[in-house]
Amino acid sequence: MLIKIVFYSAIIALAYWGYRHFSTPNQQLAIGQSAPYFDLEDHRGERVNLHQFKGQWLVLYFYPKDDTPGCTKEACNFRDDMHKLEKLGAKVVGVSVDDKQSHTAFSKKYNLPFPLLADTDGKVADTYGALTSIGPVKLAKRYTFLIDPNSQIAKTYFNVEASTHSQQIIDDLVQLKG
């Protein structure tokens, strides 16, 4: 019985440590700081960069893996709220370290109307402090950056709840736009 308690306590401690490590930002981007530049290929093979969103609000969200439960929920909520986001002058762009083919299948399966960028080497995720490694595997953390029309960081989200995040962005956009 004691061995079971020790075993399960160790599992819980490792899970907690892993979660804390995975969810803690590598570096903090400050509100008002210029958003780091990015230029990546999307799931359609088109180049997408930060300058294309000048004059608009940008929801730049990083996520771990295509077609996994949390990532699917988050992407589908952004899809379902696109009309509200666009009405507020915002565009949505998703980024993960998955490749273009994975993004294409994910986007097609869930009819996602926004670009999914293939950051296969993790350089953009790292620039935003959203890259983590689990052994040899690199993943993007579930972080979001709300970037204002002047390409400045307006809000950061490091503890994202996939099921409510899209509405949180909408609420914050309403508040930020006054």
The phi and psi torsions of 103 (rounded to 5 degrees) equal: -60, -40
CA–CA dist 155, 130 (Å, integer): 15
Q: How far apart are the first and last CA of the chain?
A: 59
Give the C-alpha separation, 61 to 54, whole Å: 17
Among residues 71, 92, 139, 173, the one annotated as catalytic is 71
Handedness of CA 160, 163, 164, 169 (dihedral sign): positive
| Token representation of residue 33 | 């700081």
Hey, what are 47's tokens?
């180049």
Q: Indicate if 71 belongs to the active site.
A: yes
- Mention every residue, 6+ apart, whose C-beta is less than 8 A from residue 152: 32, 33, 34, 35
Q: Which residues are catalytic?
A: 71
